[in-house]
Structure 1
Amino acid sequence: MSESALPYIPHQAPMIFIDELLECGIDHAVAKLTIHPELMFLEPQGLPTWTSIELMAQTISLYAGVQGKAQGQPPKIGFLLGTRKLHLPFPYFPLHSEVQITVHKNYMHDNLGMFQCEIIAQEQTITAVLSVYEPDSTESERQGL
């Protein structure tokens, strides 16, 4: 399975940091990003790895979008509540390199979730645990989201 991630996420350019949905299951998703010159935050050395938090968060959004589509729902906005255990072993993703992002759902209850996240790039691994929140539809409408 390899398809565009765009139908499953609420993000719009220039804030799109994943290209493809590679796999999605009941408790995980795998996405891919090719580092290209149009990416926001790109520097001469490449894309800073501190953006990994956003890559992971968008892959969680992708996971939620696939699950929502199965129930006939459009992609919804979500919020990053926190990041723990972030490990960045190198400073940049080089231009034109491929990055694979994997998220595993550890916990989900009442719109709150926790995901174990992993990025593989340059034969190294970036890891973190992200806590997220997805407001329900009525709450989103009330807040104008």
Structure 2
Amino acid sequence: MNNYKIEHVVPHSDPMILLNRLNGYTDESGCCEVDISPDSLFYDESLRGVASYIGCEYMAQAIAAYAGALAKDRGDAVQIGFLIGTRKYKTYAPVFNNGSTLKVSVARLYQEESGLSVFECQIHDAETLLAEAKINVFQPQDPMQFIRENQ
């Protein structure tokens, strides 16, 4: 495992990089962290945190960071992927609270040669499970060709 900065493994630009760190990854899983603060994109002062439905995007970016790290390990460029959908997104708190550091864990359950994958994802604050879902993603061989064909 290499120690990549998050901005080097997700195909996003600031301010849309929502995660703070890639903590680790294996061939089958990854773990990232996000620090919740008033500087967080989507921070809502009235909630004193970030609404927990944003967790779906934290999970998607953790999948992107995992895939990006594996690509860099192979000497490949980081590619964009597409969030196809989520199944059974459950939250156990309405807000990710100011001052918390969330651990976003992703584990690949299934992958097709076509680029379609399914991940089991969880978000924890310390030992407390705050959200979980199965996320479906698609990473085509040539993302720009795919976009052109589907416009």
| Fold-level similarity (TM above 0.5) | yes
Q: Hey, which bits of structure 1, 4+ residues long, moved more than 3 A?
A: 141-144
Q: For 1:1-145, what aligned pairs fall within 5 Å after superposition?
A: 3-44=4-45, 45-109=48-112, 110-121=114-125, 123-125=127-129, 126-137=131-142, 139-141=143-145, 143=147
Identity of aligned residues (%): 29
Count of matched residue pairs: 143
In structure 1, distance between residues paired with 2:23 and 2:134: 21
Supply the AA of the counterpart residue of 1:32. E
- Determine helix, strand or coil for the equivalent of 2:43: coil
Paired amino acid for 1:133? F
What secondary structure does 1:6 align onto?
helix
Q: Which runs of 5+ in 1 are unaligned?
A: none
Scaled by the length of structure 2, what TM-score is found?
0.87
Residue 36 of structure 1: how far off its partner (Å): 2.4
Per the normalisation by structure 1, the TM-score is: 0.91
Q: Please list the CA deviations of residues 55-94 of structure 1 after superposition, one character each: whole Å capped at 9, or x if unmatched.
A: 0000000011011112211211111111011111111111
Q: Give yes or no for contact 1:2–1:20 (8 Å, CA) kept in 2.
A: no
| C-alpha distance in 2 between matches for 1:142 and 1:114 | 19
Q: How far did 1:37 drift?
A: 2.0
Post-superposition CA distance 1:101-123 (Å, at most 9, x none): 00000001120000000000264
Q: Please tell me the root mean square deviation across aligned C-alpha atoms, in Å.
A: 1.7
